[in-house]
Amino acid sequence: MLFTATKRWTAAVALINAAEPAPLSKVLARLLKALPEKKEAFSNAETEQLREAFGLGESDLELLLGVGAFIFEQAAYSITPPETLRTELLDAGLAEEAALACSTVWLGGAAECVQALKERSVLAPASLAGLDWQLRLGTAHSNGGRTPAGHAVLQLELENQVPASSASATGGVQATRTPVQVQLDAEAMAGLLRKLDVIQGQMDRLS
């Protein structure tokens, strides 16, 4: 489930359902376009025009825009197909026309939005450059005694992209690598593998 029926969500749904589909779709398209850029979708003057067009007060318009952007954030980061998004929105209380407007806008802009987010992630502070591991056998206390307890040590090599020195001939960015060790017992390893399976499934849907 992508959306939870909080008080804020329920209030926003009422506003979205009351909006005319055509102007709502235009607003949603602007929100989606602005999402990867992490900037305001509308200027102050445009916001004032929207208040008049939708007949909303400042706080209600802010709520509508905020939840509209949140819908696409959830869809983008969970790689949600348009039809699935429509179903999720219907289940979360949106009317048919409003849910269709959201899914249609998402259908038209999803690929560009997700690609832009992927490109931003390439410039993330750290990426995994290397991975090795060791299995170690130790002991653990249990009912006053000591029993064998195995654990894995993951040896990660993290690569950070930082701006190159101004004295560098190449400019651009340069990479620095930092070794990190993480120790996991059997339970923690099982939890990590479950999360990796979820991530792999989402990446498969993206490709």
Which whole number is the average pLDDT over 20-47? 93
Q: Over 90: is that where the pLDDT of 117 sits?
A: no
Residues 42 and 196: their CA atoms lie apart, in Å, by: 37
Q: Over 90: is that where the pLDDT of 101 sits?
A: yes
Which whole number is the average pLDDT over 138-151? 63
Which tokens is 149 given?
């307890």
Which whole number is the average pLDDT over 165-193? 72
Provide DSSP, 86-116: HHHHHHTT--HHHHHHHHHHHHHHHHHHHHH
Q: Over 50: is that where the pLDDT of 112 sits?
A: yes
What is the predicted pLDDT for the residue at 88? 96
Q: Over 50: is that where the pLDDT of 144 sits?
A: yes
Q: Over 90: is that where the pLDDT of 108 sits?
A: yes
Give me the residue spans of the domains in the chain.
Answer: 7-122, 127-206
What is the predicted pLDDT for the residue at 104? 97
The neighbour count for residue 192, using CB atoms within 10 Å, is 14
pLDDT band at 163 (very low <50, low <70, confident <90, very high): very low
Contacts of 32 (CB under 8 A, 6+ apart): 72, 105, 106, 109, 113
Taking the whole predicted model, whether its pTM rises above 0.85 is answered as no
What is the predicted pLDDT for the residue at 178? 86
Which residues in the chain belong to E strands, given as ranges?
A: 127-142, 145-163, 173-185
SS3 at position 156: strand
**Tens digits of per-residue pLDDT, 79-93?**
899 999 999 999 999
